[in-house]
Amino acid sequence: MDGNGRWAAARGLPRLEGHRRGAERIFDIVDHCIDSGIGTLTIFAFSAENWKRPLDEVNGLFKLGEWILRANLTRLSRRQVRLKVIGDLSAMPDFVRLPLEEAIRSSASHQAFTLVVALNYGARQEVIQAVQQIAQEVAAGTLAPNAVDWAALESRLQTAGTPDPDLIIRTSGECRLSNFLLLQSAYAEIVFAPVHWPEFTKEQFQLALDEFAKRERRYGQTPEQLQAKPTA
């Protein structure tokens, strides 16, 4: 959800106003996902590196997160949205951690759609944690070294049980992944949208989906192999 700050600066507004407008965008995009038959959306709300920002902005983001969650709980529940968090929630202040944990608990049985919020999340940190867990299990003799395969690693990532992303959208024209779902994105299509996140409307989202629909996903195969009909 990149470009909140630049969107605000271009209008002479404080950065937090850009974040506020950006936070409001999330729920229209969730609606559009559900209406388009998409099952899961992960939003990068706060990276493990975002702690480097000025304290005022960090606190403002957390207050905004708590407010926007509270203001949209009924809407999420009406649409049967299940909420999940990836990242280290334990470092979050109680006023944002507790309502989030409650929303995760109370939405656990919702089936229509999963909204994953990446909060204090970093892909490298996630991989380190999973590898440490594997090392401990190998040392304890509960996991054989040659049983460490992709399935073993994947099941110890914070995204275990959530499908890999098919499409990653980064707004504001920045063309990098910035420590987001680095392993899970191995075969993801990436769309770099030229607008700042507060301007990312349903129409903009549909443009990204249209772009995705044009991509040919080959997973290492040749176009001819992909076109060959499976033999009966």
Catalytic residues: 2, 50
Of 65 and 165, which CB lies nearer to ligand FPP in the complex structure? 65
For 93, the token pair is 């202040």
Amino acid identity of residue 57, one-letter, is E
**How far is the first Cα of the chain from the last one, in angstroms, to the nearest whole number?**
45
Q: Detail the DSSP E strand segments found in 75-112.
A: 81-86
Query: How far apart are the C-alpha atoms of 232 and 73, rounded to whole Å?
Result: 49
Query: How far apart are the C-alpha atoms of 143 and 3, rounded to whole Å?
Result: 44
Out of 29, 30, 33, 46, name the contact with ligand FPP by CB under 6 A: 46
Query: How far apart are the C-alpha atoms of 30 and 83, rounded to whole Å?
Result: 12
Confirm or reject binding of residue 180 to ligand FPP (CB under 6 A). no
Confirm or reject binding of residue 1 to ligand FPP (CB under 6 A). yes
Confirm or reject binding of residue 4 to ligand FPP (CB under 6 A). yes
Out of 50, 125, 185, 201, name the contact with ligand FPP by CB under 6 A: 50
Stretch 60-99 residues interacting with ligand FPP (CB under 6 A): 61-62, 64-65, 96
Confirm or reject binding of residue 110 to ligand FPP (CB under 6 A). no
CB 88 within 8 A of CB 48: yes
- Applying CB under 6 A, the residues found at the interface with ligand FPP are 1-6, 19, 22-23, 45-46, 50, 61-62, 64-65, 96, 119, 172
